[in-house]
Structure 1
Amino acid sequence: MAYDSLQRLLLDNLTTAVLLLNAELRLEYMNPAAEMLLGVSGQRSQGQFISELCNESPDGLPALRQAVASGNPFTKREAQLITASGQQLAVDYAATPIPGLSSFLLLLELHPRDRLLRITKEEAQLAKQETTRLLVRGLAHEIKNPLGGIRGAAQLLARELPNEGLKDYTNVIIEEADRLRNLVDRMLGSNKLPQLTPTNIHEVLERVCSLVEAETQGKLALERDYDPSIPELLADREQLIQALLNIVRNAMQAIIEQKQPHPPGRILLRTRTLRQFTIGHQRHRLVCRIEVIDNGPGIDPALQDTLFYPMVSGRADGTGLGLAIAQNILNQHQGLIECESQPGRTVFSLFLPLEQGASTP
């Protein structure tokens, strides 16, 4: 095998993302690992300026130009890159000028950090949610057993009462026992497995929009920013509607209940695809990201770490079950929900695999 062919073969099979740039910082070559990381085709991107592939602000380009001018290598830790598709990446990268060639080349090695950080964060989040789920199931069992006894005793007592007017009191006991049982059932969530069928995510979102628009009657603006190229995914349509409706309705209520002066309420629904995206322990080749973005007051920082737990709510009359149910539905679809919030901008990001097959990261 020729030496150049061996070099190319080694680069193509590296798991480290590698790019070769010329003196004008235009792409000469990228290996498959870099293609997956940046979500672009190396062949189609050849000759493009580096900032067209990924951009780092504010000092990325000056540092690369300095390396070209001086011939000195450098390393950057925890750099924030934005890809051509708008995805943000946290990476460590090294830039190494390669001397002694017929033309100047700058070697870039990218080591992603966000995947490792995401895996660690999501594993911790999923572990806490599983612990909470087991705790709730145990607590529900202990609650439902005596509730059944109380309800049965109230029914027997009602039969023995001499005065029909006294049955109002036993009816209260029975109704409250039923209410508590229903609350516990909602805390547990559905035990039914999702009925997976080919589903257009934009049809789901439009259904949610029509329901929310009927409730708000023009009190806030619902905006769409859809990626029409997203293919159908295997999902339970009704469950996805329920999960998204819970999230959008929470945003709607937060905006409408604001007391201080504020700009007109706005909720943006955005869809995009992500490549080689890790959810929990699995890496998916293609993932659909659905973002629900509102300009409401934001979520209390004290609640953000426990936001998806049952009975946690930022509203006085809230049950704290909507987000827990939504997260449970996404988990059943091998997906995940994340939240970032600050006053004036709250983003709920839902990640759903577009393919059933997955690999370990």
Structure 2
Amino acid sequence: MDTNLLLNHLVTAVLVINEELELLYVNAATEQLLGVGSSRLTEQALPEYYQLLGVEPQVLKVAIRDGQGLSINTVPLVTIDGQQHTVDVTLTPLENEKNLALIELRQVDQQRRIHQQLTQDAQQQAAQYLVRNLAHEIKNPLGGLRGAAQLLSRELKEPQLNEFTDLIIEQADRLRSLVDRLLGPQKPTQHSLYNIHEVIQKVVKLVNVTLPANILLTQDYDPSIPDIEMDPDQLQQAILNIVQNAIQALEPLGGNIRLKTRTQHQITIGTKRHKLVLMLSVIDDGPGIAPELMDTLFYPMVTGREQGSGLGLSIAHNFARLHGGRIECDSTVGHTEFTITLPINS
């Protein structure tokens, strides 16, 4: 059996390294973790491929030189492209190979993310259940109110009084539209093969019409991503909601929004593992999201803006769920990243 093939199916990053920290071998999980291809990784020493690793290079060098094992848990790792991870680091000297060692980097943030996603999904479904029941209770009297206003307008003798009944009907329609958005689709719609970049470009065209001059919108696409099964209208709405939130956050002072697509291998969504997934990120350099909102960010009616409805992210979360995917957010001052992860059936 091909050993290289087995190593490339591992979710743990495996590296063979010498005393100078030069990379002699990396598996596919290492490429994915560091965001660099294997051909480039073997060109320079390991420290060149990350911004931060919670283990000093000298510690690794001494362990390799002395032939001693090393194991450190929950080490922070920041890659060249700014991705933040938490990893367990294990260094094992290779027998009969002087000054060579095998390093394993096992991501533990993925386990936390899976647990967080399952908890978040359960909590959001409970919140949506309450909101849906409330929405149904609102919808019935709202229809009666609108009908009564229509009947009243026909009986009025003075035309100028119709202004008030028209206002009642207009506001009743607005509330009904809000309720319909709250209810939203709960079952998957008909999906067909579409290119995700075509969907994103429609969003770009929509927002460019009213994009403030102090905001720059850029695209960073992986053109090799295959077509995926989707409802393009739902995903367009999900992406649009996230981009509009970013624009509103940046509008006072300006800034940059980047739309990025990548693929990743061996990713777990919920309780299901996928060989290949699409990672669609909307990244801005704005003020960030208030920490107290992070745990309930995707709940209906939760918003950090005075004029916000609190529905945009809830709808985006629901549409990602209906596609068998997930949506998550990492936010600090100067870097907010929403990522929609969708399975690719290859």
TM-score (norm 1): 0.80
| 1:78 counterpart residue number | 74
Q: 1:267 aligns with which of 254, 257, 260?
A: 257
Q: 1:130 to 1:249 in 2, by over 3 A?
A: same
CA distance in 2, matches of 1:13, 1:197: 29
CA distance in 2, matches of 1:342, 1:79: 19
2:282/2:337 contact within 8 Å kept = yes
Q: 1:250 to 1:85 in 2, by over 3 A?
A: closer
Q: 1:92 aligns with which of 85, 88, 92?
A: 88
CA distance in 1, matches of 2:17, 2:334: 41
- SS of 1:302's partner is helix
| 2:64 counterpart residue number | 68
Amino acid at match of 1:345: H
- SS of 2:189's partner is coil
| 1:188 counterpart residue number | 183
CA distance in 1, matches of 2:239, 2:221: 15
Which stretches in structure 2 are left out of the alignment for 5+ residues? Answer: none
1:54/1:81 contact within 8 Å kept = no
| 1:248 counterpart residue number | 243
Amino acid at match of 2:321: N
Provide, for residues 238-293 of structure 1, a one-character-per-residue CA deviation record: whole Å limited to 9, x for no partner.
2222111111122112222x2xxx4x532111222111122222222112112212
The alpha carbon displacement at 1:48 in A equals 6.8
RMSD of aligned residue pairs (Cα, Å): 3.6
1:39/1:275 contact within 8 Å kept = no
Q: 1:293 aligns with which of 267, 277, 283?
A: 283
2:149/2:168 contact within 8 Å kept = yes
CA distance in 2, matches of 1:244, 1:211: 11
Instruction: Give identity over the alignment, percent.
Output: 48
Within-5 A mapping of 1:1-361: 19-22=15-18, 25=21, 51=46, 55=50, 57=53, 59-81=55-77, 88-99=84-95, 101=96, 103=98, 105-161=100-156, 165-191=160-186, 193-216=188-211, 218-256=213-251, 258=252, 262=253, 264-355=254-345
CA distance in 2, matches of 1:323, 1:9: 40
Q: 1:60 to 1:236 in 2, by over 3 A?
A: farther
The alpha carbon displacement at 1:65 in A equals 1.1
- SS of 1:216's partner is coil
Q: Count matched residues.
A: 345
CA distance in 2, matches of 1:19, 1:218: 46
- SS of 1:215's partner is coil
The alpha carbon displacement at 1:167 in A equals 4.4
The alpha carbon displacement at 1:349 in A equals 1.7
Q: 1:33 to 1:309 in 2, by over 3 A?
A: closer
CA distance in 1, matches of 2:101, 2:208: 54
Q: 1:31 to 1:154 in 2, by over 3 A?
A: closer
The alpha carbon displacement at 1:41 in A equals 9.0
Which stretches in structure 1 are left out of the alignment for 5+ residues? Answer: 357-361
TM-score (norm 2): 0.83
- SS of 2:197's partner is helix
CA distance in 2, matches of 1:208, 1:220: 15
